[in-house]
Chains A and B, each alone.
Chain A
């Protein structure tokens, strides 16, 4: 493969609707692209964990979108910690901080 390796540091490949994950990943393989997939809620952290185990060129972040913080509890945190401890392809925390106009944190 002669194409220069590219790391795409943020792809929600598990949210695509017009093509399958396999199709999108084949396009990445053809272009020598590695991707990092963030989770967005308490359930998708498991989805990302599975994706990284299933596909060589997929790595993951764990975290939640601010609009999903209502689902974030102690179990979510424990789940995230367990995933990180047991999967060395989970390589970062993902965190969205959106401040209101009053400067009040969304989380």
Chain B
């Protein structure tokens, strides 16, 4: 079917990457809820894998995710919320909802020193490359 593959990798970073290298034919791959290091993110990107970042990036102590969000090419980045989990600041502790993705975009914009609009525009273009069904 050659559909994109959305992978949630937890604490099995390079094992997952090796499986994808070995078995993935031509499908685009998204690393959902990315929690790995910048080094791992760069290895994924070398393979053409997209990095999806959610509300964790707004957490004060999320050093690794902030570092990834700040340093990977914007063209490899996707936005998500994973609601009802992982509610971003300023609503942390309450139920998450999909429209809170704007707080994820704003935090990434702040980290990178660029505009909210640039983050929104580029990540949307990225998603449309993977999913051309979305207009």
- Taking Cβ atoms with an 8 Å cutoff, the residues of A that contact B are 4-13, 15-19, 24-25, 27-28, 30-31, 33-36, 38, 59, 61, 63, 81, 84, 88-89, 91-99, 103
Interface residues of B in 14-70 (CB under 8 A from A): 15-16, 19, 30, 32-33, 52, 54
- Contact partner of B52 (CB less than 8 A), chosen from A10, A63, A84, A88, is A10
Taking a contact as CB atoms under 8 Å apart, the answer to whether A28 and B99 are in contact is yes
Interface residues of B in 93-129 (CB under 8 A from A): 94-95, 97-99, 101-102, 105, 116-117, 120-121, 123-124, 127-128
B interface residues, tally (CB under 8 Å): 47
Main secondary structure of the interface of B (DSSP, over half): mixed
Residues of A within 8 A of B81 (CB): 8, 10-11
Residues of A within 8 A of B5 (CB): 92-93, 95
- Contact partner of B84 (CB less than 8 A), chosen from A6, A7, A17, A35, is A17
- Taking Cβ atoms with an 8 Å cutoff, the residues of B that contact A are 1, 3-12, 15-16, 19, 30, 32-33, 52, 54, 78-85, 94-95, 97-99, 101-102, 105, 116-117, 120-121, 123-124, 127-128, 130-131, 133-134
- 28 intermolecular pairs with C-beta atoms under 8 Å apart: A4-B117, A6-B79, A6-B101, A6-B102, A6-B120, A8-B80, A8-B98, A9-B52, A9-B80, A10-B32, A10-B81, A11-B83, A11-B98, A13-B83, A15-B83, A16-B84, A18-B84, A18-B94, A18-B95, A27-B98, A27-B99, A31-B99, A33-B102, A59-B133, A89-B133, A92-B5, A94-B8, A98-B11
Contacts A10-B80, A10-B82: A36 and B9 contacting too (C-beta < 8 A)? no
Residues of A within 8 A of B1 (CB): 81, 84
